């Protein structure tokens, strides 16, 4: 793991870019010196790690006393895409503009994205836990489809926050039954592209004994600011 | 309003019994001297004000810096009941034991209970706001059916927390559209006696622009302790 840049933010959080082989990532750590728990933070459908909403969420969470890491995994963010991937994304844009059904296209897009991304997130997890400023335990936040795979298969992840506004492939909806860590699921009640009942069914599927759903009025990007604070308190209950 | 007893609790909260005409009530106020906002706290279906769950919630909320008041309204708690009321409650117990449908009985029970209780809560509100230690604004917490009536008709109520686990008569489900204050609705995901879909439909009905649903795994009485803290933070956002 090589750090390639760093800047100290106003609230004392240190923001560092890194590379790990081909994987580019960003790590935010709080001003305090003691080892802190780690949050893996991913954006739905592999949106770029530099996306403003993810960065704001990461900085806030770091200021709450966590190391927060995100990467552009294979096929995600600014990483190169295969011709087949480009074709699927073009099909998706065309279908959305035409108002045609998109579930089949999302199946073809998101399933393989998770298959390729998950191993790189676990490689990154190993490297991050070797840093002296990170002490564990580990939490996860964000992209539901990837988070299901990681939380169901990686016992070092002890709590997870999922954003329900993203397509979850059928196979991963089944895999959700194997997720048993405490969960906080965020749902936007009027999310334009994501059927509410599907999100409620997914919440019902998770195998966790402690799971909480926070649903707020509004569309896909309308999550209220206070959910940032609620998210930190959820992590505090389980990781501190 | 006459205070008939008082005790100071460990956390500095003052707990006082009062009577207001025929209405018996309890008022909890925090240790601080400054005027504080007021929370009207009612228990589903007119359960007694001395119920342990309500008392625990009231004490916690008072310690968060609120005056909290509850009453046994007409027909509720230990207040005398008419022969007709007793008959309905007997019918309800018998139907529940026999596993028979109870919606019709709840309609006959809860609708009139709210009709009789709401004016007494408003009388109590007037009297409480005349006390020097209570400064407003006013919030509401608990029994959904009564809360819909109060929040839809009483503009002094500026925010409300509802517990979804209680029967809401059809007329009040319609009235829910007239509720426009910020809402926090608590739902127990596996509430034995209260259909989940009915609670989700009710949440959908409220006219409020800011409304949040917190759903937790578990049965009717299984609301996790951290919802007490979330409830205070919700009130803090709107009343402080």
What is the interface pTM, i.e. ipTM, of the complex? 0.93
Inter-residue contact A139 to A160 (CB < 8 Å): yes
Confidence at residue A32, expressed as pLDDT on a 0 to 100 scale: 81
- Is residue B204 pLDDT above 90, yes or no? yes
- Measure the N-to-C terminal CA separation of chain A; round to a whole number of Å: 26
For each of the domains in chain A, give its residue range(s) and CATH number, in order of start: 2-80+113-239 (3.40.50.1820)
Split at pLDDT 50, 70, 90, the class of A210 is very high
- Is residue B193 pLDDT above 90, yes or no? no
Please state, in angstroms and rounded to a whole number, the distance separating the CA atoms of residues B184 and B160.
7
- Is residue B33 pLDDT above 80, yes or no? no
Residue with tokens 């009942």: A197
Please state, in angstroms and rounded to a whole number, the distance separating the CA atoms of residues B46 and B147.
12
Of A209, A224, A229, the CB nearest to B217: A209
Split at pLDDT 50, 70, 90, the class of A193 is confident
Best of A196, A208, A212 to substitute, by most chain B Cβ atoms within 10 angstroms, is A212
Please state, in angstroms and rounded to a whole number, the distance separating the CA atoms of residues A203 and A194.
14
Chain A residue numbers with beta carbons less than 8 Å from the beta carbon of B229 are 233
Averaged over A115-135, what is the pLDDT?
96
Best of B189, B203, B234 to substitute, by most chain A Cβ atoms within 10 angstroms, is B189
Split at pLDDT 50, 70, 90, the class of B31 is confident
User: What residues contact B61, with CB distance under 8 A and at least 6 apart?
Assistant: B28, B39, B41, B68, B141, B228, B231, B232, B235
Chain B residue numbers with beta carbons less than 8 Å from the beta carbon of A233 are 226, 229
Inter-residue contact B124 to B71 (CB < 8 Å): yes
User: What residues contact B81, with CB distance under 8 A and at least 6 apart?
Assistant: B75, B89
Chain B residue numbers with beta carbons less than 8 Å from the beta carbon of A226 are 233, 237
Please state, in angstroms and rounded to a whole number, the distance separating the CA atoms of residues A185 and A160.
8
- Is residue B180 pLDDT above 90, yes or no? yes
3-state secondary structure A94-130: HHHHCCCCCHHHHHHHHHHHHHHHHHHHHHHHHHHHC
From B230, which residue of chain A is nearest by alpha-carbon distance?
Answer: A230
Please state, in angstroms and rounded to a whole number, the distance separating the CA atoms of residues B113 and B115.
6
Chain B residue numbers with beta carbons less than 8 Å from the beta carbon of A229 are 233
% of chain A residues with pLDDT over 70: 100
* DSSP sequence for chain A: -EEEEEEE-TTS-EEEEEEETTEEEEEEE-S--S-EEEEEEE-GGG--TT-HHHHHHHHHHHHTT-EEEEE--TTSTTS---HHHHHHHHHHHHHHHTT---HHHHHHHHHHHHHHHHHHHHHHHHHHHTSTTEEEEEEEEEEHHHHHHHHHH-TTEEEEEEE--S---HHHHHHGGG--S-EEEEEETT-TTS-HHHHHHHHHH---SSEEEEEESS-TT---THHHHHHHHHHHHHH-
Chain A residue numbers with beta carbons less than 8 Å from the beta carbon of B237 are 226
Q: Report how far apart, in Å, the C-alpha atoms of B19 and of each of B16, B121, B150 are.
A: 10, 13, 21
Mean pLDDT taken over chain B: 96
* Cβ <8 Å between B212 and A216: yes
Q: What is the pLDDT of residues B42-55, one digit of tens each?
A: 998 888 999 999 99
| Cis amide leading into A227 (omega within 30) | no
Nearest C-alpha neighbor of A23 from the set A67, A73, A68, A59: A73
Please state, in angstroms and rounded to a whole number, the distance separating the CA atoms of residues A168 and A45.
9
Radius of gyration of chain A (CA): 17
Dihedral sign for Cα atoms in the order B224, B41, B198, A103: negative
Q: What is the pLDDT of residues B79-125, one digit of tens each?
A: 999 898 999 999 999 999 999 999 999 999 999 999 999 999 999 99
Averaged over B196-222, what is the pLDDT?
97
Inter-residue contact B151 to B207 (CB < 8 Å): no
Split at pLDDT 50, 70, 90, the class of B136 is confident
Inter-residue contact B116 to B131 (CB < 8 Å): no
| B230 sits in which H/E element | helix B226-239
* Cβ <8 Å between B217 and A226: no
Counting every residue written for chain A, the total comes to 240
> Which residue intervals of B42-143 are DSSP H helices?
52-63, 83-98, 103-129
Confidence at residue A31, expressed as pLDDT on a 0 to 100 scale: 87
Averaged over B143-152, what is the pLDDT?
98
Confidence at residue B8, expressed as pLDDT on a 0 to 100 scale: 96
Distance of CA B59 to the CA centre of its chain: 14
Chain B residue numbers with beta carbons less than 8 Å from the beta carbon of A222 are none
Split at pLDDT 50, 70, 90, the class of B134 is very high
- Is residue B146 pLDDT above 90, yes or no? yes
- Is residue A107 pLDDT above 90, yes or no? yes
Nearest C-alpha neighbor of B112 from the set B133, B84, B90, B131: B84
Give how far B185 is from chain A: nearest CA, Å: 10
Dihedral over alpha carbons B119, B125, B126, B127 (to 10 degrees): 110
- Measure the N-to-C terminal CA separation of chain B; round to a whole number of Å: 26
Which residues of B lie inside 8 Å of A (Cβ-Cβ)? Answer: 189, 200, 203-204, 208-217, 224, 226, 229-230, 233, 237
- Is residue B220 pLDDT above 90, yes or no? yes
Assigned token pair, B179? 């509720």
Split at pLDDT 50, 70, 90, the class of A33 is confident
Q: Are strands A67-71 and A134-143 parallel, antiparallel or unpaired?
A: unpaired
Mean pLDDT taken over chain A: 96
Averaged over A73-92, what is the pLDDT?
92
Give how far B240 is from chain A: nearest CA, Å: 15
Confidence at residue B78, expressed as pLDDT on a 0 to 100 scale: 87
């Amino acid at each position: 793991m090589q750090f390639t840049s760093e800047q100290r933010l106003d609230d004392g959080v240190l923001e560092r870019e890194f590379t790990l082989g081909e994987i580019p990532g960003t790590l935010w750590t709080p001003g305090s010196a003691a080892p802190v728990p780690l949050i893996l933070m991913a954006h739905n459908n592999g949106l770029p790690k530099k996306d403003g909403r993810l960065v704001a969420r990461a900085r806030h969470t770091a200021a709450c006393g966590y190391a927060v890491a995100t990467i552009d995994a294979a096929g995600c963010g600014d990483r190169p895409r295969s011709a087949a991937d480009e074709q699927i994304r073009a099909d998706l844009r065309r279908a959305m503009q035409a108002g045609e059904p998109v579930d089949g296209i999302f199946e073809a897009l998101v399933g393989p994205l998770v298959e390729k991304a998950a191993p790189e997130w676990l490689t990154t997890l190993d490297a991050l836990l070797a840093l002296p400023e990170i002490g564990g335990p580990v939490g996860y936040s964000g992209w539901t489809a990837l988070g299901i795979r990681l939380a169901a298969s990686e016992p070092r992840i002890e709590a997870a926050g999922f954003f329900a506004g993203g397509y979850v492939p059928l196979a991963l909806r089944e895999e959700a039954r194997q997720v048993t860590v405490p969960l906080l699921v965020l749902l936007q009640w009027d999310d334009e592209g994501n059927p509410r009942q599907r999100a409620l069914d997914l919440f019902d599927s998770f195998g966790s004994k402690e799971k909480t759903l926070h649903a707020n009025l509004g569309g896909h990007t309308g999550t209220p600011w206070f959910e940032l604070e609620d998210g930190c308190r959820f992590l505090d209950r389980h990781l501190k």
